[in-house]
Amino acid sequence: MKSAETTSITQAILVAFAFIALMRSFIVSDFTVLNVVQNSSVLKPLIFKVAGTWGSHEGSLLLWTLILSLFGASVALFGANIPQALKARALSVQAWISVGFLSFMLFTSNPFERVFPPPLEGQDLNPLLQDVGLALHPPLLYLGYVGLSIVFSFAVAALIEGRVDPAWARWVRPWTLAAWAFLTAGIALGSWWAYYELGWGGWWFWDPVENVSFMPWLVATALLHSAIVSEKRDAFKSWTILLAILAFSLSLLGTFIVRSGLLTSVHAFAVDPERGIYILALLGITIGGSLTLYAVRAPDLKPGGLFAPLSRETGLIVNNLILSVATGTVLVGTLYPLFLEAITGDKVSIGPPFYNVTFVPLMLPLVAVMGIGPFLSWKRADLAGVLDRLKFAFIIMIIAALAVWYWDTEGPVLALIAIAFAVWLAAATINEWADRVQLFRVSLSTSWRRAKGLPRAAYGMTLAHLGIAIAIFGFVGSTAWQTEVIVSAKEGTTVTVAGFELRFDGVRAVQGPNYVSRMGEILVTRDGQPVATLRPERRAYPLASTTTTEAAIRSRPMGDLLATISEPAAENAEGTWTLRVVYQPLVGFIWLAAAAMVAGAIVSLSDRRLRVGAPRKTLPAEARPAVVPAE
């Protein structure tokens, strides 16, 4: 069994060697390698040469496999307190996944394919992808996607052993948490990239490729919460196992959809049906195999502790139910065009309107329950007591709703409700923390001592839940209260948007390293005071024969001002440009929220109880929190 660890580490080192070799080919522009020819050029800045390593299907697959083997190796290295047998089984499951992906790469997608004679110059990377945000997006997203593989391996190993106990849940949780944090960061970075690089002012499009990264996130979130119940109360065991399997299965589905050309999407890789068949077979074996094992073994798992209808367990059931239904909704929305085409031959595309009426209403009850959940105690909770403790949060919510209504009487009703719920969640979350440290009920110094004594996992939960509240502010503000102006502008044209005055000062040509740009200049003033100069661009990349729109964005604490220019419209005279200016209130909150959630996960990961191999610290009795934290 010891050999599992050695082989895992060896595998990681060897795959890392292959990855570094490919990266070197990109850095030195080795045009004997087909992959480099197709995705790089001599003139490309160094950082994008490096990022080009994972810019193509083959290279990104190598990165995928690298991360897969790194996770295996880190379990081997840091999982000292995991029982030998379980660890060896989990690592062997992980190794099987590696076999699948390595063979996929060897048989269908060799990243080191050679060309002879080597061309003098490459074809350059798709200019839309030449961006710092996107250079980092795939590695982070893959760390999240593939991080779930280790949770999957642990779940399958537990099914093989036929035993799931609180200790199992405790070993699995840090890995879930880490994968979840990477996934959150990866999704946020992708949406940030879409926001400023695509220059449409949108940050989420419900595109199939976005959806397939969002579904594992939803399931991983559910898993994080149900694993708490498995850990603390030894319940929901088969459900937790199922979530662990599904989270990684959805990651694999994402990989499949992005690489098979099955659905039309803005980001899909090159279409190749043969590759599609191979990944589908891989999916069939991995998901089908694990779910078959689940169907055979899960019924024999012993059910755990009992609980009353009103208890923290119930709260977490509601959380899991809503998150699962939400995942199902996104899955149906993503695959429905395919189902319909298969059955009737009709072609449809499903866009934001579908999700606005299905997904968004599901999130509101979730947010409502999120406020209450942490107040509930295990086994049996006292409803009257909980409501009493939440009355301040409720009052603040009503005040906030009235204030928003007064400020924008004509505004959308759903926006008003959503803001009220966000305020409710923030108030309830802070209220819960204040209760724990007994703020204003004991002296401040005692509260301070209690605050220091709270487990880090509790702070993790507070931060993550606050993150959700902040995110709702961003979602609602930037969609419901956005202002947009499109004008055809000549030099000297002025427009007013949301209190800002903008003067268009014409366009000049700028030469970039591997592109030529026409850069507009817009002076922004507010009440006569200069605020900023916006310089939106149209860039033409000759090698890739593509033109991109570079939006100019000025971020301010309460909202973003975004400007884009596009070619003179056909009907118009020389020197006229189409100028689009958008003001999006609170949009920056979305990425602040993601940062808060990731910070929450990191804080929670640093908790001693989760730290692998760390001895449990005994808290002084008075500092020990009254209720067990739900992190």
Partner 1 sequence: MKRLFFALPLAVVAAIGGFLLWGLNPDRDPSVLPSVLIDEPAPAFALPAIEGVGVPGLSRNDLAGGSGPVLINVFASWCIPCRAEHGVLTDMVERDGVVLYGINYKDKPAEARAWLDELGNPYDRIGSDYDGRAGIEWGLTGVPETFVVDAGGTVRLRHVGPIVSDDQRKRVLEALEAARTVAQGAEAS
Residues near partner 1 (CB under 8 A) are 238, 242, 245-246, 249, 256, 260-264, 271, 273, 276-277, 280, 283-284, 287-288, 291-292, 294-295, 298-299, 335, 338-339, 341-342, 345, 347, 545-547, 567, 569-571
Q: Give the shortest CB-256-to-partner 1 separation in angstroms.
A: 7
If the CB atoms of residues 345 and 557 are measured against partner 1, the closer one turns out to be 345
Tokens of 248: 């990684």
CA distance 433 to 631: 12
Question: For residues 559 and 484, is the Cβ–Cβ distance under 8 A?
Answer: no
CA count, 13 A, side-chain hemisphere, 363: 24
If the CB atoms of residues 299 and 613 are measured against partner 1, the closer one turns out to be 299
If the CB atoms of residues 113 and 567 are measured against partner 1, the closer one turns out to be 567
Question: For residues 472 and 558, is the Cβ–Cβ distance under 8 A?
Answer: no
CA distance 436 to 448: 11
If the CB atoms of residues 115 and 136 are measured against partner 1, the closer one turns out to be 115
Give CA separation, 452 vs 433, 446, 458, 631, in Å: 12, 10, 11, 16
If the CB atoms of residues 345 and 528 are measured against partner 1, the closer one turns out to be 345
Chain centroid to Cα 422, Å, comes to 20
If the CB atoms of residues 80 and 570 are measured against partner 1, the closer one turns out to be 570
Q: Give the shortest CB-262-to-partner 1 separation in angstroms.
A: 5
Residue 130, classified by CB atoms within 10 Å of its CB into exposed (0-12), middle (13-18) or buried (19+), is buried
Residue 529, classified by CB atoms within 10 Å of its CB into exposed (0-12), middle (13-18) or buried (19+), is exposed
If the CB atoms of residues 47 and 277 are measured against partner 1, the closer one turns out to be 277
If the CB atoms of residues 262 and 630 are measured against partner 1, the closer one turns out to be 262
Q: Give the shortest CB-242-to-partner 1 separation in angstroms.
A: 6
If the CB atoms of residues 297 and 465 are measured against partner 1, the closer one turns out to be 297
If the CB atoms of residues 268 and 322 are measured against partner 1, the closer one turns out to be 268
Spell 343-382 as b/e; 16+ CB within 10 A means b: eeeeeeebeeebbeebbeebbbebbbbbbbbbbbbbeebe
If the CB atoms of residues 343 and 509 are measured against partner 1, the closer one turns out to be 343
Q: Give the shortest CB-271-to-partner 1 separation in angstroms.
A: 7
Q: Give the shortest CB-570-to-partner 1 separation in angstroms.
A: 5
Chain centroid to Cα 378, Å, comes to 30
- Rg (Cα) of the chain, in Å, rounded? 26
Q: Give the shortest CB-37-to-partner 1 separation in angstroms.
A: 16
What is the three-class DSSP state of 508?
strand
If the CB atoms of residues 298 and 404 are measured against partner 1, the closer one turns out to be 298
Handedness of CA 53, 56, 62, 64 (dihedral sign): positive
CA distance 399 to 534: 38
Residue with tokens 């809503």: 322
Question: For residues 594 and 467, is the Cβ–Cβ distance under 8 A?
Answer: yes
Chain centroid to Cα 499, Å, comes to 34
Question: For residues 113 and 34, is the Cβ–Cβ distance under 8 A?
Answer: yes
Residue 120, classified by CB atoms within 10 Å of its CB into exposed (0-12), middle (13-18) or buried (19+), is exposed
Q: Give the shortest CB-418-to-partner 1 separation in angstroms.
A: 31
Q: Give the shortest CB-109-to-partner 1 separation in angstroms.
A: 16
CA distance 145 to 506: 45
Q: Give the shortest CB-500-to-partner 1 separation in angstroms.
A: 29
Show the DSSP H helices in 162-236 as ranges.
166-197, 208-233
Q: Give the shortest CB-220-to-partner 1 separation in angstroms.
A: 17
Q: Name 508's bridge partners.
A: 519
